Amino acid sequence: MITRFHLVRHGPTHAKSMVGWSDLPADLSDTAALARLEAALPRQAVVISSDLIRAIATADAIQGDRTRLPHAQALREMHFGDWELRRWAEIDAEDPDRIRAFWEDPGDNAAPGGESWNMLSTRVNAQIDLLARTHAGGDIIVVGHFGQILSQIERAGNMSTTEAFSHKIDNLSLSRIQHGPDGWTLSDINHIP
């Protein structure tokens, strides 16, 4: 039995800083892009999003007549802690070693008061695994965030974190993974319908 996940990144926030758990709204003014995205998704799928407003509003815009599941905090973006809403250059000027380690040696390195890549992956993996069990054999649209999507691409593609980080995940893009008897597989990354 194959369970298909359709991973959608929320609409743009236009922030030029590190946005993790801050609840910034999405710009959903590109109604043509939203219509194309909605049309590219399976009609019989269920829809779930993170509990941040940019993901909720994007899910609302593409839900159509699909069944909606309750928002999940576990699907949030990475928590950037003290770096939240700050620019990379600003943090680099204060703590260059720490921010470089955070990006260049992902894993257990975390922003002060924030979470590491491994913490994010563990949190998101648990939620995705739960969805795979409760909706086995179905289609699940997950509206979320850059890091959350990359964590699943890393897992399904059986790649290193560094390899996963090399992929671009655009706003309103669609990536697809599946879970079946042989585990996880990756079928599409950063597709723009």
- The whole domain housing 134 covers 3-191
Give the burial class of 126: count Cβ atoms within 10 A of its Cβ; 0-12 exposed, 13-18 middle, 19 or more buried.
exposed
- Can you give the CATH number for the domain in which 87 is found? 3.40.50.1240
Q: Is 151 left (phi over 0), alpha (psi -120 to 50) or beta?
A: alpha
Question: What per-residue confidence (pLDDT) applies to 22?
Answer: 92
Question: What per-residue confidence (pLDDT) applies to 122?
Answer: 97
pLDDT in tens, 72-121: 999 999 999 999 999 989 999 998 998 888 888 888 989 999 999 999 99
| pTM listed for this prediction | 0.95
Question: What per-residue confidence (pLDDT) applies to 48?
Answer: 98
**Which residues of the chain have a pLDDT value below 50?**
none
Angle between helices 53-62 and 31-40 (to 10 degrees): 70
3-state secondary structure string across 35-95: HHHHHHCCCCCEEEEECCHHHHHHHHHHCCCCEECCCEHHHCCCCCHHHCCCCHHHHHHHC
The answer to whether 37 touches 59, Cβ cutoff 8 Å, is no
Cα separation, 60 vs 10, whole angstroms: 11
Decide: helix, strand or coil at residue 123. helix
Mean residue pLDDT across the chain: 95
Question: What per-residue confidence (pLDDT) applies to 167?
Answer: 95
- The domain total for the chain is 1
Tokens 């671009």 sit on residue: 168
Question: What per-residue confidence (pLDDT) applies to 184?
Answer: 97
